[in-house]
Structure 1
């Protein structure tokens, strides 16, 4: 098996505890790599290195343009290594090579975009209402940033955080998911090659209670950016509040994918299937609640079932595979438990509902694409995030009821609307409580467009121009150009 090492202060190193743990392939169900089991002392080394790099050495001496150039160089190296890194990610998390290869070829754009934005961060001269003063603002980097990434799209979600953090001038300690650490440890080897100073980016792998907690609570960490479960995000937010740390949290979703009777049904069927069965449903924006208008409900469900049952399952490295395995064994068990919950709640099983026993699935953690109908929005299957290939179909009668059902959940990350009525498209986009609304499409993202959630789906935004602001703080500078000092006991 391949053995990976921690990356601290520009060097690959062993964990202080001298322990490794196995990473299992979701396709074979067998270990394929050994990952360092970091601990609090490793976090101490990494955070200290990041803080030292932030306050001294060559990193704080770089101009914003020079930082941007480093990001452009990293983008070029990432593009050259895209195929290799995609293959590592597939082996580690089981997502389709076709999707991972496309993602890795797109990810350099994040580093190019924020590399170009690095020297576009500008302060302002304030036209004061007071004579004899000159006032301007500076936007300065926060300091050491803790980056905590999930197991479903490790490098993509790392890029969303790392690119703006580095463009802003921060330094970083990354804690990837213990289930999918390999691609991150492989990726950071590119940083030294393109000239990033030691300590600017560090990686400590391990378990949440041993590594994540120590990173979040470290006094030198000034910001935490996290993607993952809302329960974990809530604990991080509570811990961060004690020390007034900045946070950005991209958490769970229970996204409505709403189909009206005037929609292009061929497109909407494809959108419904893509919304939940692409990435095996392991995405925070999964359209796991399919809301269908009553006049087309039965026919539309038949068409969705017919398309979903043709999905090709198997080796995620094969180009013809459309649905891969569940990434982790605990998640596999969780998805099956929710299928049991849906049955117990009285939902009607229209497709799937059991582990895949197809020969092409081997010993991997595969679950058949599953569709439940006759779902009431109050059911747990409609309210709680399953994070797997399980679709709940809910019938609605009109626009008002669609909005009511769509918003009647504690999450608000994404939503889809399928209609040929442009007025309805604008009305739904305004009324749905969600950070992103797709109209006549689904799962489209860009480095140029902000992404984040309402309600329990998180805080802050990633991507787009405004994302860099989450890694900066504003300083106001006052210069007396000739105002009299006056009475020292009166505010100027």
Structure 2
């Protein structure tokens, strides 16, 4: 039986007044697994008002850091008790493999634990400014946080925003991607079983043009945190000017992975495969541009293509699957269109390039791991984010050219360098204009480290102490140690 989802507001699961519903599909077979409501503008405004009232009441915002930490730990416990359910929903709704979903679910629970730990060690500053004045620097919650999350990591990206926003003492309104709400609904069900005040967290499903725009434009929303495309990020920046609200944007990427000819070739090939084909390439930080030094260019392509062809593509719930489905038919068609563009631009298609319609994948959205070589910087497939299992390989001569090519896009989210020469690797990685970088590895990171990009890859940082700062205001309090008339005008 298809599940009918509901909105969550004021501590209750409610139907939308909008009779229109969104079919939620399993991308591995196009089965309708749920129907999701589409909240109206009025329902969004009501949720914003309720979140603001909750914030101003102090029911959450005025709790001590240790009291808030205790609730975050309760949420983490609930998530760990329900990991299997979260994993199953993530695989079914997003199409990713079970191994990827297991990693996401575990990391999500750990994110709540991490921010609870930060609250247990929270501190301010006291500055001695002069003999008669003492200055305190304190952090305060901002108010209402609008959280808009993408479809590629529905669970993890939601928690990356929910945990620090709640830790800081804010009220939240979360809008998941229209096509992947299932795990977020489960998270809110679990939060509802904790001591989190019922009117602090709200979940609104619906379109970006109505729910997202209403949240972004509202003068009662104090910060909008968005993860998604650069195009939508620009729209949010413009809409947020109404009350000059703070924005945090984690946007697109076209990240370089630089392979020098002195690199350990097998290690470089292995990490470069993981760098793009993990998550079916639907990862903002994917190493989608591989830059290979001319001395090993041909050998690298041969080894890389042979390995890419061996990747087992299949339904996420199949334990043998190494790469899952594309999230939707619309996105699959976009990727296939870019593959056609690459062919027309003159790039050499080394392997892949096709939709997979065999071995039980006939009704799903599956694409072969696709490798283009001999690309040039003026090609669209080199400059534009494809966001799928498509990688382009480009040759470079020396260190100087590698850096020039690496930085030759509008994006600056991530990048990697592979070399046995640590001094060279560090020289190069420091010149790569990106916020998340690796040396002799790719994708591996932790909740303790800040996440975000340069240039058109975004504004602000998630995770780490930086992630908590995003949802806080900084206030100075000046205290006279010897109160007396100042006599400025006497």
For normalisation by structure 1, the TM-score amounts to 0.97
Unaligned runs of at least 5 residues, structure 2: none
Aligned position for 1:202: 202
Matches within 5 A, 1:279-298: 279-298=279-298
Aligned position for 1:447: 447
Structure 2: how far apart are the matches of 1:404 and 1:60? 48
Maintained 8 Å contact 2:240/2:247: yes
Aligned position for 2:163: 163
Unaligned runs of at least 5 residues, structure 1: none
Aligned position for 1:237: 237
Deviation at 1:434, TM superposition (A): 0.6
Deviation at 1:205, TM superposition (A): 0.3
Aligned position for 2:466: 466
Aligned position for 1:421: 421
| 1:45 and 2:46 are equivalent in the alignment | yes
Structure 1: how far apart are the matches of 2:484 and 2:78? 57
Matches within 5 A, 1:356-435: 356-435=356-435
SS in 2 for 1:127: strand
Matches within 5 A, 1:208-357: 208-357=208-357
Structure 2: how far apart are the matches of 1:398 and 1:28? 47
Matches within 5 A, 1:49-64: 49-56=50-57, 58-64=59-65
Structure 2: how far apart are the matches of 1:394 and 1:371? 11
Deviation at 1:274, TM superposition (A): 0.8
SS in 1 for 2:476: strand
Matches within 5 A, 1:116-135: 116-129=117-130, 131-135=131-135
Maintained 8 Å contact 2:111/2:447: yes
Deviation at 1:115, TM superposition (A): 0.5
- Count of equivalent residues: 489
Structure 1: how far apart are the matches of 2:431 and 2:213? 38
What is the CA deviation profile of residues 311-367 of structure 1, one whole-angstrom value per residue up to 9, with x for unaligned ones?
111111111101111101111111011011111111011111121122231310111
Deviation at 1:119, TM superposition (A): 4.0
What is the CA deviation profile of residues 108-162 of structure 1, one whole-angstrom value per residue up to 9, with x for unaligned ones?
1111110111243322222113x43332222110010000000000110111111
Structure 2: how far apart are the matches of 1:398 and 1:489? 68
SS in 1 for 2:34: strand
Structure 2: how far apart are the matches of 1:303 and 1:132? 70
| 1:74 and 2:75 are equivalent in the alignment | yes
Structure 1: how far apart are the matches of 2:138 and 2:294? 56
For normalisation by structure 2, the TM-score amounts to 0.97
Deviation at 1:481, TM superposition (A): 3.4
SS in 2 for 1:316: coil
SS in 2 for 1:417: strand
What is the CA deviation profile of residues 44-101 of structure 1, one whole-angstrom value per residue up to 9, with x for unaligned ones?
1211221121111532342110100110111111111111011111111101111101
